[in-house]
Amino acid sequence: MIFQIMKKIDKTEIDNALNDFPGNLAKLIKGSLDTKNSGKKLAARSTLVRMGKTIIPQLHRLLDSENGLLRMEAAKIVELIADRKSIPFLINLLDDKEFEIRWIAAEGLIKIGRHSILPLLKSVRDGKSSFILNKGAHHILLSILKEDEKNKLTKLLLSLDDAQELGETAPVEASEAIKTIFRRNNTI
């Protein structure tokens, strides 16, 4: 009985979140949420990804949904589209309560590539980060930075990986990293 009530609540939440979406887009998003039919789910997701940048604004709205399944699917589609306009939204998701969503966000930033570095460093510098976000930033930077950049930014990478440094050296090291990489070398 409780499971049926939860399913009804989820369906209502999803319907409400998609209420003002064009009919075809709402139908595809609902199809991508189908947990019973993986073929339908993947086909809908693939169609949404092919729609590309045209649906990014609607997907960004779904990233704030209280419904974890809807938020995760929107994040996955945003990750697969890999549009630079999604960078701030993906950075915000690095602090999501759900591990899977944080992982998808990190992979999305890695997929977007080097354009993610400066906004990510600014987020850490400006103190908008948490321990969880810093761990994600560490993973992303290790994946995107060149070896010589990693060597120059060892202190930053260590501070992002250390819970004791949160709020202390990570913002300072991020500020120095911005100067080191962007202003002196113009490498990114």
Where would I find the H helices in the chain?
A: 2-17, 23-32, 38-51, 56-62, 68-81, 87-93, 99-112, 117-125, 131-144, 147-152, 154-160, 170-178
- What is the tens place of the pLDDT at every residue in 147-183? 999 999 999 999 898 866 555 788 889 999 998 887 6
Tell me how far CA of residue 62 lies from CA of 56, 67, 129, in angstroms.
10, 9, 22
What are the pLDDT digits (tens) for 97-155? 999 999 999 999 999 999 999 999 999 999 776 888 889 999 999 999 999 999 999 99
Q: Which residues are CB-neighbours of 104 under 8 A, at least 6 positions away?
A: 72, 75, 76, 79, 93
What the chain holds in terms of domains, given with CATH numbers, is 1-81 (1.25.10), 84-188 (no CATH)
Write out pLDDT tens, residues 24-82.
999 999 999 988 889 999 999 999 999 999 999 999 999 999 999 999 999 999 999 99
Tell me the pTM. 0.87
